[in-house]
Structure 1
Amino acid sequence: MSDVYSFGVVLLEFLTGRKSLDKSRPVRQQTLTDWAAPLLTQKKKFLSIVDPRLGGDYPEKAVQKMAMLAYHCLDRNPKARPLMRDIVESLEPLQESVEVPISSISESAACD
Structure 2
Amino acid sequence: MAPKYLENGLVSQKLLFMHFGVLLLEILGGKEATTFCGENSMHISEALLGGGNEEKEKLKDFVDPPLENNYPLVLAVFMVRLVESCLSKDPTHRPIMDDVVQSLSRALTTSLNWEISNMSGYRSYS
TM-score normalised over the length of structure 2: 0.62
Structure 2 distance, partners of 1:14, 1:53, is: 12
Structure 2 distance, partners of 1:56, 1:35, is: 25
Aligned residues: 92
Deviations, residues 30-62 of structure 1 (Å, cap 9, x unaligned): x38x68724244341344311122111111111
Larger Rg over CA atoms: 2
- The amino acid across from 1:53 in the alignment is P
For the 8 Å contact 1:75–1:81, the answer to whether it is kept is: yes
Distance 1:40 1:69, change over 3 A: farther
For the 8 Å contact 1:40–1:71, the answer to whether it is kept is: no
Matched, 1:61 2:74: yes
- The amino acid across from 1:4 in the alignment is F
Q: Please, which of 15, 18, 27 is the counterpart of residue 2 of structure 1?
A: 15
Equivalent in the alignment of 1:72: 85
Equivalent in the alignment of 2:61: 48
Structure 2 distance, partners of 1:76, 1:87, is: 17
Matched, 1:98 2:111: yes
For the 8 Å contact 1:46–1:67, the answer to whether it is kept is: no
Equivalent in the alignment of 2:47: 39
Gaps of 5+ in 1: 23-28, 101-112
Equivalent in the alignment of 2:97: 84
Moved over 4 A (4+): none
Structure 2 distance, partners of 1:49, 1:80, is: 24
Matched, 1:14 2:27: yes
Once superposed, what is the RMSD of the aligned Cα atoms?
2.4
